[in-house]
Structure 1
Amino acid sequence: MTEEYRTPQNRAARRIRLLLWLFVLLMALMLAGFYLPTPYYVERPGSAVELAPIVEVEGGKKDAAGVFMLTTVRMGEATPAWVLYAKLFPDAELIDKDLVLNQGESDEDFTRREQAVMQNSQKIAEAVAFRLAGYEVKIENHGVIVMGTIPGMPAKNIFQVGDIITAVDHHATPEQQALRNYLAKKKVGDTVQITFQRDGEERTVPVTLGELPGEEAHRPGLGISLDNNQVIEVPEEVTITARNIGGPSAGLMFTLEIYNQLRKDLDLTRGYRIAGTGTINADGTVGRIGGINHKVVAADKAGAEIFFAPDDAGSESSNYEEAVATAKRIGTKMKIVPVKTVDDAIAFLTSLPPKRS
């Protein structure tokens, strides 16, 4: 080794090169940590959204002393940084992507499915609220809504989540059983003409039937998961601006807000800040939802005083029990109230004394 190599200038140059390589390595690790995909989604507390500004019932009252709030969770693809965060902090949770997405479903399909489910939840909330208020409500099935497609099946490259199938070979399909009954008479390889609606536009396309996976006797099918497209007619117009919120879990709270606006002789809020969650069925029963622990945190941060949680008895751990455990962990004064039906929520609220300001 020469004396020239050992000069202070060369030693300084070596240190600079080493520092540059360390900087490049650190930047690469940071980029990987924040952008490298993993097989998980991360779920964490979202927000509590006041319903009065986004729900408008024609002729309904808007002067409630308190507020109803729906609650949300935030969910996105988990990078390595989010995986580490979820391991360290209790208010973030990792969920396997296979438990969120259906087989072969893209993120775009998932978003469409969540929006379709949200819209259906809003319709059912309207029907339940108007019936509770003593109005006549008309519910009819108008076609079959596509909720997902199966990879490798004919429908995969033809239909999108949210499409509404109204006929097959010009035979009306007002509900899903009618579609199944017609296709059951066909054979794998037969071609049928499917009429459907997308974004208000009607289309008719030929579809060659495939063999449904997991079915016996080579049962033919399109390869879609589906639900009835319910058209609900209520006597007054209801406008709900739910922005980008998806899923069915706001059903109970939509029902309470709509009902409260319809009842001009009663203020269910009693002056309180009331949050909650739960699906709503046409008979008024409240169903289990996911991520209730995150929703309790979101409601507490928004200053909620009451939180309605589905009391889904029979589950290993009910939503109500999960909500109570989370409330205890975060030390909130918010009251967690179990509900099996919307009537349970209404009975609890009407028993409350009005809040003194």
Structure 2
Amino acid sequence: MRKSWFALIGRRWKLLFVLLLLLLAISYIPLPYYVELPGSAEPLDERVSVQGQPHPDRGELMFTTVYSISANPYVWLYGKLAPHADLVPASKKLGLVRNQESYNRLLEWMRDDSEASAVIAALHVLNKPVQLNYEGVIINYFLPNAPSANVLFEGDIVTAVEGRSIKTAEDLRTILADKRPGDKVTAAVKRGSKTEQLSVPLMELDDAAGKRTGFGFGFATVQYPIHQEQIDFKLSDIGGPSAGFMLALEIVSQYRNGELPRGYRIAGTGTVDANGTIGQIGGIDHKIIAASKNRADYFLLPKNVNPTDHNETEALEAYRKLNTKMKLVPVTTLAEAVQFLEQLPSK
């Protein structure tokens, strides 16, 4: 009897061990989804410093984030059941970008570009001198059947073609003007921390700009500001462009001794360009929730201006579902946002 009892216990432990291994193995099964959740609302005076010294705000300016988690079966189930969670197909999340590594490089560049635009826009509002410089074009996506996609990746930065420096899109067009579809050119390509010389085939382009020869990819100019100010960022743990507007607002505030929040907790989101125009972003419903949970008094967001704009509408939909005293403030430019804060009664 004793032997059979121990044998039964042993079999149960074996079954339990196998079950635990199976549950662990399931967690390593990737699914083609991401789960997005409300993230954080973080003080910007801990992330931005002007002239080498942070200037704590009287009140708080905060940028908001969205948590994005690559799904396994457990995360997928959580995304199905949890409140305020969204299941996003990987194809929609990555868009035209073919792999996660390239997508991550694009997110890093978007963050760096948002920092550069924030500096330029803020210094313009402050009437301080600033100039723009350019250092190449970054690949955002490829046209269907573009042969260059066999050599290049999204997130690559093209800095020279045929030994000639590329600063802007116009430089690229000028160099390729005498080339023909099927030709190959040598391109200096920055990929992460490395720069390579690659032979890249060209194709015929035919769009609103007419027929011409090109690489067959969509791109943006890589820019950075030249100025005499010392402005530093600590944002290596985030990606994307959506903090740009609030970064610019924080720079302006620090130059004004942290007075801009007027004693309030001001959260917000939106891209910003060098001219100070605030642009649309994704995940605004999650960011509204994050701001409300962090006791924000006001939430600054991009105003709907164009027919395709959606942030103001989505924000109102999310806002109506919350029990919050936080107020929404749609704005179109950095200067408009600064003016709004300056007119708030001091708290």
Shorter chain as denominator, the TM-score bin is 0.7 to 0.9
Q: Structure 1 counterpart of 2:295, which letter?
A: G
- Which residue in the other structure is 1:51 paired with? 44
1:331 matched to which residue of 2? 323
**1:238 Cα offset (Å):** 1.2
Task: Provide the C-alpha distance between the structure 1 equivalents of 2:210 and 2:55, rounded to a whole number of angstroms.
Answer: 58
Change in Cα spacing, 1:153 to 1:263, as seen in structure 2 (3 Å) is: same
Is 1:28 aligned with 2:25? no
Contact 1:136/1:234 (CA < 8 Å) preserved in 2?
yes
Provide the residue aligned with 1:165 in structure 2: 158
1:330-349 per-residue CA deviation (whole Å, 9 max, x = no partner) reads 31222221112222221221
- 1:70-81 equivalence runs, <5 A: 70-81=63-74
SS at match of 2:160: strand
| Count of residues in correspondence between the two structures | 347
Most deviating of 161-170 and 106-115: 161-170
Long gaps (5+) in structure 1:
1-6
The answer for the alignment partner of 2:82 in structure 1 is: 89
What is the match of residue 4 of structure 1?
A: none
Residue by residue over 1:267-320, the C-alpha shift from the partner in whole angstroms, topping out at 9 and shown as x without a partner, is 111111111000112222211111111111222222222111211244577322
Letter in structure 1 aligned against 2:89: D
Residues 150-159 or 163-172, more deviating = 150-159
Matched, 1:182 2:175: yes
Equivalent residue in structure 2 for 1:297, among 289, 296, 312: 289
What 5-or-longer segments of structure 2 have no aligned partner? none
Question: Structure 2: which amino acid aligns with 1:349?
Answer: L
Bigger mean CA deviation after superposition, 285-294 or 72-81: 72-81
**CA–CA distance in 1 between the matches of 2:124 and 2:81?**
47
**Where in structure 2 are the equivalents of 1:115-134 lying within 5 Å?**
115-134=108-127
State the TM-score, normalized to the length of structure 1: 0.83
Alignment check: 8 A CA contact 1:104 1:150 kept: no
Matched, 1:40 2:33: yes
| Deviation for aligned residue 1:111 | 0.8
* Residue in 2 that maps onto 1:281: 273
Q: What residue is the counterpart of 2:102 in the other structure?
A: 109
Letter in 2 for 1:87: K
Q: Which residue of 1 aligns with 2:231?
A: 238
Cα displacement (A) at 1:44: 0.7
Alignment CA distance shift 1:323-1:208 (3 Å): closer
Aligned residue among 338, 341, 346 for 1:349: 341
- The 3 A distance-change label for structure 1 pair 48 and 138 is same
**Contact residue 45 and residue 56 of structure 2 kept, 8 A:** no
Q: For 1:175-221, what per-residue CA distance to the aligned partner results, in whole angstroms no more than 9, with x for missing partners?
A: 11331343253223322122344567665433333567999999644
Question: Does the Cα contact within 8 Å between 1:103 and 1:151 map onto a contact in 2?
Answer: no
1:14 Cα deviation (Å)?
8.1
- On the 8 A contact 1:125/1:255 being kept in 2, the answer is yes
Q: 2: CA distance between counterparts of 1:259 and 1:27?
A: 55
* Aligned partner of residue 57 in structure 2, secondary structure: coil
State the secondary structure of the residue aligned to 1:330.
coil
* Corresponding residue for residue 138 of structure 1: 131
Partner of 1:3: none
C-alpha separation between the residues in 1 aligned to 2:196 and 2:89?
36
**Residues 104 and 152 from structure 1, CA distance in 2 versus in 1: closer, same or farther, beyond 3 angstroms?**
farther
Q: CA deviation at 1:93?
A: 0.4
Which residues in structure 2 correspond to 1:11-22 (within 5 Å)? Answer: none
Q: Contact 1:71/1:298 (CA < 8 Å) preserved in 2?
A: yes
| TM-score (normalised: structure 2) | 0.85
| Shift in Å, 1:101 | 1.4
| Cα distance in 2 for residues equivalent to 1:64 and 1:244 | 22
- The SS at the match of 2:249 is helix
Deviating more after overlay: 193-202 vs 97-106: 193-202
In 2, Cα distance between the equivalents of 1:49 and 1:272? Answer: 14
Alignment partners' CA distance in 2, 1:326 and 1:151: 37
Superposed CA RMSD: 3.4
Task: Output the CA distance in 1 between the equivalents of 2:138 and 2:209.
Answer: 25
